[in-house]
Amino acid sequence: MSGVSNLPQLIMGPMVRRADAGRVCFQFVTTTPCQYRIEFTAVETFSNFESIQLGQNIYLNFINVMPASGEFAVDSLIYYSLHDKEKSLDLSAYCYERAESPAFVIPNRLDRILHGSCRNPHHPAKDSLVAADNWQSEQRDSLNAGADLLLLSGDQIYADDVAGPMLLAIEKVISLFGVFEESKLDLALPEGFEQQLYKRHLYLPKVPWQKRSKFGVGYWLKKDEPHFSSLKAENHLIHFQEFIALYLLNFSAVTWQLINFESIECPALPPKCANLFKLEKQALVGFAEGLSQVERLLANVSTLMMFDDHDVTDDWNLTAGWEQAIYQHPASRRIVNNGLISYWLMQGIGNDAGDKTFDLLSAFKRSFSTNQWNFKGFDKHILDFNHWHYELNTIPKVVVLDTRTHRWRNEQNFNEPSGLLDWERLTELEESLLSHDKVIIVSPAPVFGVKSIEAIQAIFNFCGQPLLVDVENWMAHEGSAKKLLDTFRREDTPKETLILSGDVHYSFCFSVQKRFGKHKNRIWQLTASGIKNEFPRKLINVLDKLDSILYAPKSPLNFFTKRWQMEVDKHKTKGEGQKYLVSDAAISLIELDSGLLKRYELIHADNRITEFDLEEQ
């Protein structure tokens, strides 16, 4: 392992985050403290700089660059360079061919948007962000700006589904950079990460069977119920420093080189775990090889993010009962809050350029003393924070929803799924849509999902098992479903609304119109998932056929759904092998013409393109 003196200065980024005409936010990680600055080519600017020390040799940096006068030019490329007090940092690795520096667009009129979600490093599929970088490179070579915006709508990391080799890599990263550790939790974990491999779920908190509901099978089988419901929690992240290390491993190519990942050997494990370790390591080697291109993409397009459950843990806040079990237990609460704090640092601040997110910074820094973090006092601040959602004043307007921390809880039955937004947030959404002809909504979970799959989820929910099949669709909660559909049926809602979603690990394109009324508004449900994840293909083909049979346009079953007043049309892919549901790792490309949907494509991880037919079916 390299000594501290040999560490490179820049280890992650720069990422272009929030980019507006009055300010552009950049995010990057360095191993040394310095008063960094970013300069724009041929544009006079000034900047604000904020550095957050997260370890002995790790600094998370944010620079907000403002124009010296007026506003920045929009919808055209802006080239930039990164400097410390003494020199210009080498950004040649982030430049496209024939460019001397990285460049980005401050979006005003949105023409092309890259969107996706669900990027699991050890999934066998290739990383579609690499394919997105290849596409962006082709655009720049053709003297086009490429994408105006990259929207990542959830599961940028998988804190609850961590590969065995990744857990060992996390340990090396913590040691390499001296990531500050938090005070120990009251969990009887074995000493050392090797001893914990594929065993962490055994030590995570559980609800004793005696305290479970007598109406459930678990009580009578005398089976304790895990607080953390992920089916792959064997290596679940626990400590704050582990979350920080995972973010570096998800977005930093040089970090993998510094820890010499290929030298990590499989420890003594049972044959089943040893074979899994080998397969996971093989997938992670391929993932690491593509990260330099991912970093180049993020340095050349404004990138905005939103959390979903896996950024913290599977089924995060799915039911009121889940919340009650987690937040009343000190160790479980600590793990969830560590995920949220790390999201705030590594994703959230860049979404609003620190406008509201920097309000948490002073309390966060006070949590560090005697070389360790103690977040007990900070937890109230992070849990009370109400501004994870945000908007972009572009054309069309972009409204990004936080569907995790403002749930509409079922007060009659704590084990029923919560609504994805409460009444207050749904009312705010309604107000955001009014007086706009065209709007883009980013909802991590699809608003208009596949009816057959939602019906299966409803059956599991009826049997008291909502956590087993992730009953997290908008129609699962009566109140939130009715309020949202009433909003879409209003006469003064936008004439065209695009809903960008992920979460489900397959992609599709639906168009929706209300069945009654004179107001001709159209809603497009564009779902792209996952960037590096897939739904089992044989199963999705069965569900696709089942949905086509049970919920055909003239099927009477349509009138038993909550959205029966909305006409939902499914759109097939073009070319051979036409299908409605696509389970093939991809990132989506949305093309607009004067704010209206012109083309919807999937850029697959192997650079193939799948286009949906937008004509009426």
Print the SS3 string covering 184-228: CCCCCCCCCHHHHCCCHHHCCCEECHHHCCCCCHHHHCCCCEECC
Q: pLDDT category, 460, cuts 50, 70, 90?
A: low
- Asked whether residue 3 carries a pLDDT value surpassing 50, the answer given is no
Nearest to 488 by CA among 439, 453, 554: 439
- Asked whether residue 114 carries a pLDDT value surpassing 60, the answer given is yes
Q: Reduce the DSSP state of residue 424 to 3 states and report it.
A: helix
> Distance (Å, rounded) from C-alpha 453 to C-alpha 581?
12
Q: pLDDT category, 408, cuts 50, 70, 90?
A: very high
Our measurement of the distance from residue 248's CA atom to the centroid of its chain's CA atoms, rounded to an integer in Å, reads 15
pLDDT given at position 492: 86
Q: For 524-538, what is each residue's pLDDT tens digit?
A: 999 999 999 999 999
Question: Domain extents for the chain?
Answer: 1-106+158-300+324-330, 107-154+389-610
The C-alpha angle with vertex 174 and arms to 278 and 349, in degrees rounded to 5, equals 105
> Distance (Å, rounded) from C-alpha 453 to C-alpha 427?
28
Q: pLDDT category, 549, cuts 50, 70, 90?
A: confident
- Asked whether residue 297 carries a pLDDT value surpassing 50, the answer given is yes
H or E, element range at 588: strand 586-593
What value does the mean pLDDT take over residues 280-300? 98
What average pLDDT is seen over the chain? 92
- Asked whether residue 339 carries a pLDDT value surpassing 90, the answer given is yes
Answer yes or no: are the C-beta atoms of 23 and 315 closer than 8 Å: no
> Distance (Å, rounded) from C-alpha 130 to C-alpha 145?
17
pLDDT given at position 1: 40
Answer yes or no: are the C-beta atoms of 390 and 356 closer than 8 Å: no
pTM for this prediction: 0.94
Q: Which residues contact 235 (CB under 8 A, 6 or more apart)?
A: 162, 163, 164, 166, 167, 196, 197, 198, 200
- Asked whether residue 563 carries a pLDDT value surpassing 70, the answer given is no
pLDDT given at position 378: 97
Task: Take residue 115 and report the two structure tokens written for it.
Answer: 């969107």
Q: For 484-500, what is each residue's pLDDT tens digit?
A: 988 888 888 899 999 99
- Asked whether residue 381 carries a pLDDT value surpassing 50, the answer given is yes
Answer yes or no: are the C-beta atoms of 227 and 325 closer than 8 Å: yes
Strand-pair partners of 257? none
Among the residue ranges 220-234, 266-280, 516-530, the one predicted with the least confidence is: 516-530
Q: pLDDT category, 609, cuts 50, 70, 90?
A: very high
Q: For 350-375, what is each residue's pLDDT tens digit?
A: 999 999 999 999 999 999 998 899 99
> Distance (Å, rounded) from C-alpha 396 to C-alpha 108?
8
Per-residue DSSP letter, 127: P
pLDDT given at position 474: 84
Instruction: Name residue 556's amino acid.
Output: P
> Distance (Å, rounded) from C-alpha 303 to C-alpha 5?
32
More confident residue, 79 or 469: 79
> Distance (Å, rounded) from C-alpha 603 to C-alpha 300?
18
What is the arrangement of strands in the sheet containing 508-514, beginning at the earlier edge strand?
390-392, 397-400, 438-442, 496-501, 522-527, 508-514, 566-570
Q: Reduce the DSSP state of residue 472 to 3 states and report it.
A: coil
Q: Which residues of 71-93 are buried (b: 16+ CB within 10 A; e: fewer)?
A: ebebeebbbbbbebeeeebebee
Q: pLDDT category, 479, cuts 50, 70, 90?
A: confident
CA-CA-CA-CA dihedral for 222, 227, 229, 230, to nearest 10: -120
Answer yes or no: are the C-beta atoms of 478 and 557 closer than 8 Å: no
Task: Give the C-alpha distances (Å, rounded to integers) separating 464 from 213, 229, 461.
Answer: 10, 14, 5
pLDDT given at position 177: 98
The total number of residues written for the chain in this structure: 617
Task: Take residue 269 and report the two structure tokens written for it.
Answer: 């494990």
What value does the mean pLDDT take over residues 415-436? 91
- Asked whether residue 119 carries a pLDDT value surpassing 60, the answer given is yes
What value does the mean pLDDT take over residues 106-128? 98
User: How would CATH label the architecture of 107-154+389-610?
Assistant: 4-Layer Sandwich (3.60)
- Asked whether residue 10 carries a pLDDT value surpassing 80, the answer given is yes
Percent of the chain with pLDDT over 70: 94
